[in-house]
Amino acid sequence: MTGGVSYDTSQYVAVLLRHWREQRGYSVRELARRAGVGYVTVVRIENDQISPTVAMLEKLAKALGITARDFFPSERRVKSKGKGRRR
């Protein structure tokens, strides 16, 4: 999706947020309404002016029908499958 361009995490989130919003045919205002967040907040995230909190990502993801994990490239995900867990 990124066409070989290197993105930092906030840029990646911005690109994906806009991609998924447009793919679903939502305007910025519609996504903000569905997520229960401010319109300006969505604009600022999409323009990489602010980095969303995890709670914000969860709200946006739910409104888009995805998970918050989907905002991060798979090669950056930590595979925990029982490794390194403390008891």
What's the CATH number where 53 sits? 1.10.260.40
Could you tell me if residue 87 is inside a domain?
no
φ, ψ for residue 47, nearest 5 deg: -95, 10
The lowest-confidence range among 8-17, 60-69, 75-84 is: 75-84
- The range of the structural domain enclosing residue 15 comes to 9-65
User: Is the predicted pLDDT of residue 84 greater than 70, yes or no?
Assistant: no
Nearest in space to 28 (alpha carbons), one of 1, 3, 63? 63
The lowest-confidence range among 7-11, 38-42, 80-84 is: 80-84
As to burial, measured by CB atoms within 10 angstroms (0-12 exposed, 13-18 middle, 19+ buried), residue 70 is middle
Reported as a single tens digit per residue, the pLDDT across 12-61 is 899 999 999 999 999 999 999 999 999 999 999 999 999 999 999 999 99
pTM: 0.76
Could you tell me if residue 20 is inside a domain?
yes
Could you tell me if residue 1 is inside a domain?
no
Could you tell me if residue 53 is inside a domain?
yes
- Residue 82 pLDDT: 47
Domain count, the chain: 1
